[in-house]
Amino acid sequence: MKIANIPKALAVWLAGQGVITEDEIELYEYAVICVAFLFSPLIMALIFGVPFCSVSLRVVFIIPFMVIRKYSGGYHAQKIRNCLLISGILLTLCFICAEHTVLSIWFSGVVFYLSVCIAVVSPVDSENRRLTDEEVVRFRKKCREWLVLFGGIYLLLCVTGASAAAVYWGYGLILTALLQIPCVVKRIVMPGRQAH
Amino acid sequence: MQKRVVKVIANAMAKGLSKALSIEANTNSSVLAFQPKAPKQLEKYKK
């Protein structure tokens, strides 16, 4: 069985067991895909980060990214293959950079600046998931709340001397901001072509 | 006995997937750099 067929097969099996209706097969197929996507960044970070840092630092890096991106949105590739390639490259680059970054005022300034950018630009929607006006307001608020919390955690890590953790936590926020850049550029170059 | 175990597993999976749908309906984006197309039925999970 191809990997791409697994979500549909699982949904059909659930319908066969009588726990969902036949009308819900497409919905639960989507749900299976979403669950896979939800954990993929964590799995990818754990794998791609092997040459660079400990398991705990890989987890510290990916948590702010996973949470903030759920509300902030950002660039999405047209195909899964491209998505995985881009994600792998970006993760590797982030790990390489984090390994060679020393916690400093400059780095904290970059993290703070990019966090503000995320707060201003978010949420960024996509063609496959358009947001209503109400959702834009709600997700912007949620995104900012999480940014304040995660900014606080970053400061706490800095102040308590957990400099490696602070750097990796900061890079999680930086990666989120970087993935919004293509969307921001698109907004400037083609205004009015996107919903938000 | 085996049928009952399978049914329990199926129920647990459906509940877990339902929770995932609720999360997806009430957040903006996929975490990965790929956004699958949301089916219309996702609307019923929105708060």
pLDDT in tens, B9-20: 999 999 999 999
Structure tokens belonging to residue A151? 């900014």
- B38 pLDDT above the threshold of 50: yes
The tally of CA atoms less than 13 A away on the side-chain side of residue A15 is 15
SS3 assignment, position A152: helix
Question: Is A71 within 8 Å of B37 when comparing Cβ atoms?
Answer: no
Indicate whether B10 belongs to any domain.
yes
- pLDDT on residue A2: 77
Share of chain B above pLDDT 70, in %: 100
pTM score, two decimals?
0.89
Indicate whether B32 belongs to any domain.
no
Residue A143 near residue A119, CB atoms below 8 Å:
yes
Query: Which helix H or strand E contains A124, and what residues bound it?
Result: none
Only one residue has tokens 């929607």, namely A125
pLDDT tens, chain A, 196 aa long: 677 889 999 999 999 999 999 999 999 999 999 999 999 999 999 999 999 999 999 999 999 999 999 999 998 888 888 998 999 999 999 999 999 999 999 999 999 999 999 999 999 988 888 899 999 999 999 999 999 999 999 999 999 999 999 999 999 999 999 999 998 898 888 876 554 4
Q: Does A88 touch chain B (CB under 8 A)?
A: no
Q: For residue B5, what is the nearest residue in chain A, using CA coordinates?
A: A17
Indicate whether B35 belongs to any domain.
no
CB pairs under 8 A between A and B: 123
> Cα A147 vs. chain centroid, distance in angstroms?
13
Structure tokens belonging to residue A55? 């398991």
Indicate whether B1 belongs to any domain.
yes
Indicate whether B13 belongs to any domain.
yes
Report the distance separating Cα A41 and Cα A84, nearest Å.
10
- pLDDT on residue A153: 97
Report the distance separating Cα A168 and Cα A165, nearest Å.
5
Q: Does B31 touch chain A (CB under 8 A)?
A: yes
Q: Does A69 touch chain B (CB under 8 A)?
A: yes
- pLDDT on residue A193: 53
Indicate whether B30 belongs to any domain.
no
Indicate whether B47 belongs to any domain.
yes
Domain coverage including residue B10: 1-25+40-47
Question: Is B14 within 8 Å of A125 when comparing Cβ atoms?
Answer: no
Structure tokens belonging to residue A135? 């959702």
* Rg, Å, chain B Cα set: 14
| Per-domain boundaries in chain A | 1-48, 54-189
Indicate whether B31 belongs to any domain.
no
A14: chain B residues, CB-CB within 8 Å: 10, 13-14, 17
SS3 assignment, position A73: strand
Q: Identify which of B13, B20, B31 has the shortest CB distance to residue A41.
A: B31
How many structural domains compose chain B?
Answer: 1
Interface test with chain B among A6, A30, A90, by most B beta carbons within 10 Å: A30
- The DSSP call for residue A53 is S
